[in-house]
Amino acid sequence: DIQMTQSPSSLSASVGDRVTITCRASQTINTYLNWYQQKPGTAPKLLIYDASSLKSGVPSRFSGSGSGTDFTLTISSLHPEDFASYYCQQSYDTPFTFGPGTTVDLK
Amino acid sequence: EVHLLESGGDLVQPGGSLRLACAASGFTFSSSAMSWVRQAPGKGLQWVAGISGGGASSHYADSVKGRFTISRDNAKNILYLQMRTLRAEDTAVYYCTKMLNNVVVPAYNWFDPWGPGTLVAVSS
C-alpha cells in the first residue's frame, strides 16, 4: 500500500497568514494527489485534484503543487472559514490512501 | 446538483451485521464509480471500498476484505455496503462518495461530492 504522510499535524495561524501544508507519498504517484478540507461534524470537501487543479468554486487563495512523491497545499491568505482539517489522498492505486490530516486552528 | 444521502447506521454488537445504503440523485448514477470512506471518532479518513459504474468491478481495503460487500442498484440509484462480522474497530462515520470516472481506477480520479455520513457503532 502507498503510505501518505503530512506535516505538520497541526498548526496555529492568524487570519491573513500564508499557510503551507506538505504531503509525501511512500512511492511516486505522478500527480495523482487530491486535497480535501473538512470542518468539524461535516463531510470532507474536495479542494484540489490532480495535485494542482482547483475545483470549480474553490477560492483562488488555495493552490496545490508537486509531483512524484512531494506535494504542497498553500493557502495564500487565511480567511476565518479556512480553519479546518486538510487531508491529502493518493489516487495512483488501490487501496486509495489518505494522509493523517493537518488541523489549522486559530492562534 | 449531485446529492448523496446515507442511511442504515446503527449500534450493533461485535460479530453482528449491518447494511448501509446511499441514495444518489442529480447525476447519471450508472456512469459513476462510487466508494465508501469511513472516519473513526477523532481519527482520519480511510477508504473502505469502491465499485465501478456498472457494478462489475469492486475493490476493498484489506481491513474489510471478506467481511464487507459493496454493491449498487442502478435502477434505483442506490449504493450499498453490506457489513458482516463487525468489530469494534469498524466503529466510524461511513461516507458515500462519487468518483470522477466510471471505474475505480485509473489514477485520474477523486472523491466528490460526499454525503453527510451515517454512524456505525460496534459495541456490546
Confidence (pLDDT) at B108:
85
Tell me the pLDDT tens digit for each residue of A14-25: 999 999 999 999
**Mean pLDDT throughout B18-45?**
97
Confidence band of A87 (pLDDT split at 50, 70, 90): very high
- How far off is chain A from B15, nearest CA to CA, in Å? 25
Residue B45 to residue A89, Cβ atoms within 8 A = yes
B9 touches chain A (CB under 8 A): no
Q: Please provide the average confidence, as pLDDT, over all residues in chain A.
A: 97
Grid coordinates belonging to A79: 480567511
CA distances from A1 to A23, A37, B25, B55, B90 (A): 16, 23, 33, 24, 20
Confidence band of B79 (pLDDT split at 50, 70, 90): very high
Q: Is the pLDDT of residue B107 over 90?
A: no
B27 touches chain A (CB under 8 A): no
Confidence (pLDDT) at A45:
98
Instruction: Find the CB nearest B44 among A1, A92, A101.
Output: A101
Note the Cα B76 to chain centre separation in Å: 16
Residue B107 to residue A87, Cβ atoms within 8 A = no
